[in-house]
Amino acid sequence: MNDSGPGRRDVLIATSGMLTLAGCANSAAVESGSGYGTTYGDAYGSE
Amino acid sequence: MRTTRRSTLAALGGTIALSTTAGCLGGSGGGSFPSDCDGTEVETVNSLPRPALGPEDASVTVDVFEDFACGHCATFTNDVYPQIESTYIEPGEIRYRYFDYPIPVDENWSWRAASAARAVQDRTDAETFFSFAKGIYEQQSRLIEDGYQFIREVADDNGVDGCTVATAAKEEAYREVVEADKQTGDDRGVPGTPAVFVDGELLENYAWDTVSAAIDGQLADTN
């Protein structure tokens, strides 16, 4: 399994002090600062 | 346009035999292509109707962009979608539309599974497409363990020839259809998957409470 691809990221959004899972991130959106996620993990299929 | 292609292991001797035995399909793995499916023909297809459920004239439309290898899409499909289905789709309150959006979470299986699902749709109907998709998401980890065999089994379970669907996955026979969906997602600013739109408005997350509140709000506005 190769988790190093640019698109393989899970996104966490900080909402009112709680971390809410937002989804698997489109790396282009993350890099453009779309607000969909600010921090992310890298596990395949993780939640 | 459809172009006939053949999934075949040409007589190239030891090279092909070795690669088949090793089951090496690239960085994301996924197991060997079933040898008894060799020679199955599929067509390359570049357009299909949108997989959708519910009345075409429903007052609220829900669009969902998903990647078959995305763990969050599995969570959405397994945990949230059944509630959407029973609460809004089956009563005919919404039009629910599926869009492929291979990020790709997995560089191979995000695309292959999408082509497989479209092959199922092409040979059956939208209901069977969604049933196949549900089968994939229920055991999503099998995509990277034994993807072709897994796809074959789920297709067979849905009454579609598994070898044909596995071949469509291998050949990415519906890649143009899937790419068109992804372009639609890019045009609509999809930031990741699953991305849920209610009457064109992107929701901040895919939680049931968020989705149901958005749908209820739109239903209240339109009724």
Banded model confidence at residue A41, pLDDT cuts 50, 70, 90: very low
CA-CA distance, B6 to B55, in Å (whole number)?
38
**Contact present, B112 and B105 (Cβ < 8 Å):** no
Give the pLDDT score at B179.
98
The verdict on B135 touching A (C-beta cutoff 8 Å) is no
Tokens found for residue A35: 């607000």
pLDDT tens digits along B97-111: 999 999 999 999 999
Selected residues 201-220 of chain B with any CB under 8 Å from a CB in chain A: 204-207
B72, B139, B143, B144: best to mutate for the A interface, most A CBs within 10 A = B72
Residues in chain B predicted with pLDDT less than 70, given as ranges, are: 1-29
User: What is the ipTM for the molecules in this complex?
Assistant: 0.74
Residue B63, helix vs strand vs coil: strand
- Residue of chain A with shortest Cα separation from B29: A1
The string over B168-207, giving b where at least 16 C-beta atoms fall within 10 Å of a residue's C-beta and e elsewhere, is: bbbbbbbbbbbbbbbebbeeeebbbbbbbbbbeebbebbb
Antiparallel, parallel or unpaired: β B192-193 and B41-45 = unpaired
What residues in B contact A33, CB-CB < 8 Å?
A: none
Question: How many Cα neighbours within 13 Å face the side chain of B26?
Answer: 11
State which amino acid sits at residue B199.
D
CA-CA distance, B204 to B109, in Å (whole number)?
26
Name residue, tokens 């035995």. Answer: B21
- Residue of chain B with shortest Cα separation from A29: B191
Distance of CA B110 to the CA centre of its chain: 8
B106, B139, B146, B208: best to mutate for the A interface, most A CBs within 10 A = B106
Is residue A40 pLDDT above 60, yes or no? Answer: no
CB contact under 8 A, A2 and B28: yes
The verdict on B75 touching A (C-beta cutoff 8 Å) is yes
Residues with Cβ < 8 Å from B22, sequence gap 6 or more?
A: none
CB contact under 8 A, B192 and A25: yes
Residue B218, helix vs strand vs coil: helix
Give the pLDDT score at A28.
53
CA-CA distance, B28 to B143, in Å (whole number)?
9
Give the pLDDT score at B223.
73
CA-CA distance, A23 to A26, in Å (whole number)?
9
Is residue A15 pLDDT above 70, yes or no? Answer: no
pLDDT tens digits along B38-60: 999 999 999 999 999 999 999 99
B24, B103, B106: best to mutate for the A interface, most A CBs within 10 A = B103
How big is the CA angle at B113 (ends A13 and B66), to the nearest 5 degrees? Answer: 30
Domain B52-222 is classified in which CATH homologous superfamily?
Glutaredoxin (3.40.30.10)
Task: Provide the total of helices (H) and of strands (E) in chain B, helices listed first.
Answer: 9, 8
CA distance to partner chain B, nearest, from residue A17 (Å): 16
The verdict on B195 touching A (C-beta cutoff 8 Å) is yes
State which amino acid sits at residue A39.
T
CA distance to partner chain B, nearest, from residue A9 (Å): 7
CB contact under 8 A, A24 and B105: yes
- How many beta-carbon pairs under 8 angstroms link A with B? 90
CA distance to partner chain A, nearest, from residue B223 (Å): 30
User: Which has more confidence, B73 or A33?
Assistant: B73
